[in-house]
Amino acid sequence: MYGAADWTIASSRLQTVRHQSVLMKRILPLARLTALVVFGLGLAILLLEIGLRLGGWAFLLARREAPPPITAMSNDSYRVLCLGESTTADLAVQGRKSYPAQLQRILNERAGEDRFAVINRGVPATTTDLIVAELPDLLDRQRPDLVVTMMGINDGPLSDPLFEAARSGGSLRVVKLARLLHATLTGGRADAVADDAAVPESDEVARIARRDGLPQIDVPGTTMFNLMAAGAMLYQGDLDDAETLLTPLADGGFEGDLRFATTGAIGQLTVLHYQRGDYGEGDYWHRRYRELVGARHNPKTTVNYRILQRMLSERGIPLIAVQYPGLPVEPLRRILEGGAAVFVDNEDTFLREIKSAPVSRVYRDLFGGIFGHLTPYGNRLLATSVADAILESGVIPSVSRVQRE
């Protein structure tokens, strides 16, 4: 027999079961909806990531399979293959006034006939790893008589300095795209990383940022933002505000992944003082810059340059190794010490330019600290230096004595 208390307990349990049943009926659709939303977001991110990567691969494939972009080549053309990244590709002028295009014109002018065909195989954002990996197939397809290289700036320590140092998300293109959109559309800061205070942001720095409407990108902290902003101000002739941003970076004593900030800031301070006409101060910063660059050793660049030189040597193809504008050639000589190569020194030529004319005459930016992407005039200077090295080195005996312009 069941008593009243037993019925009360049973009734209470029944009500509880009913309530749980009703709750589950409400929760299950919500859980399914949440799961579908999460799945949909995950699938969208996956598809976007695949799309971004396929887009990048398509670009590289198009660059690889495209016909030589300068002129058609006859069988008796002397083929010069130029390898490098965006400073070689120069998509801002669609390659028409890139240094390889101007190199071809200079060589043919000096030869007095259309004898040379220069092939521009610069790929923006590429590294020496990718250049070396593609080289055997490229040599088989293009059959160059001579190879010109200007490479290594993208090898690090931060191959993609705007994003790679913000380590969350690793190499996901979606994360990089999100950070770029966030900084561009909102003017806000990307998520801070551990050493956000690497460079104290003074009130003066903040004032300049607000005035110019510049986004702050933590890579890490405000380091990369300050370096980029200073370069833009220097390029525009706003020297005092640029100096405000650069001084703490130059004195920061950064090591490891942030060493580029010190080197870049000192390079930009060199340009800044030369632009002011303060040559003594500019020479001081330039000496510091040379010391830093001369002491720097990038194992990736060194190994890949030597592999490339060995590949060319085995095929009997001469190598013209070009140093970036404004940089000392000695580190490049050390990399290829003992190997056969002709070196192109562009340090003095470009330093003279920034001492005597606005930096915008030669460079379109200063992403490399003391140098950047070149204007058509800057590309002409570079092409002339390379042409001089080719014609004076004797690697092409029949034209080595062509008169210089």
Same structural domain, 304 and 270: no
Q: Is residue 163 part of a domain?
A: no
- Please give the average per-residue pLDDT across 230-259, as a whole number: 82
Using a CB cutoff of 8 Å and minimum separation of 24, what contacts does 249-255 make? 249/199, 249/223, 250/285, 252/198, 252/199, 254/198, 254/223
Domain at 125, CATH number? 3.40.50.1110
pLDDT of residue 27: 59
43 found inside a domain: yes
Provide the number of structural domains found in the chain. Answer: 3
Which of 295, 314, 342 is at the close of a domain?
Answer: 295
pLDDT tier at 166, thresholds 50, 70, 90: very low
Which range has the worst mean pLDDT, 80-84, 90-94, 388-392? 90-94
Residues 287 and 324 in one domain: no
Q: Two tokens at 37?
A: 């939303």
Evaluate whether residue 11 is within a structural domain: no
Q: Is residue 405 part of a domain?
A: no
> 48: domain range?
22-66
β-bridge partners, 148 = 82, 320
pLDDT of residue 53: 56
Q: Which of 221, 332, 227 is nearest to 271 (CA)?
A: 227
Question: pLDDT-based confidence at 389, cuts 50/70/90?
Answer: very high
Among the candidates 9, 31, 66, a domain finishes at 66
| Mean pLDDT lowest among 86-90, 160-164, 177-181 | 160-164
Does 167 map to a domain?
A: no
Q: Tell me: do 208 and 140 sit in the same domain.
A: no
User: Could you identify the residue written with the tokens 């006939």?
Assistant: 113
Question: Would you state the pLDDT for residue 157?
Answer: 54
What's this model's pTM, rounded to 2 decimal places?
Answer: 0.71
Sheet holding 78-84, edge to edge: 116-122, 78-84, 146-150, 319-322, 342-344
- Residues 160 and 173 sit within 8 Å (Cβ to Cβ): no
Task: Tell me, yes or no, whether 182 and 239 share the same domain.
Answer: yes
User: Cα–Cα distances in Å, from 230 out to 65, 84, 376?
Assistant: 39, 26, 23
pLDDT confidence band for 90 (50 / 70 / 90): confident
Summarised one tens digit per residue, pLDDT across range 14-42 is 566 556 565 556 655 666 666 666 666 66
Per-residue CA distances from 223 to 219, 247, 306, 342 (Å):
6, 12, 33, 37
The answer to whether the beta carbons of residues 80 and 107 sit under 8 Å apart is: yes
Same domain membership, residue 177 and residue 150: no
Per-position DSSP letters for 204-232, written without gaps between them: HHHHHHHHHT-----SSTTHHHHHHHHHH
Q: Is residue 9 part of a domain?
A: no
Residues 195 and 125 in one domain: no
Examine the domain organization and report whether 124 and 191 are in the same domain. Answer: no
Per-residue confidence (pLDDT) for residue 107, from 0 to 100? 96
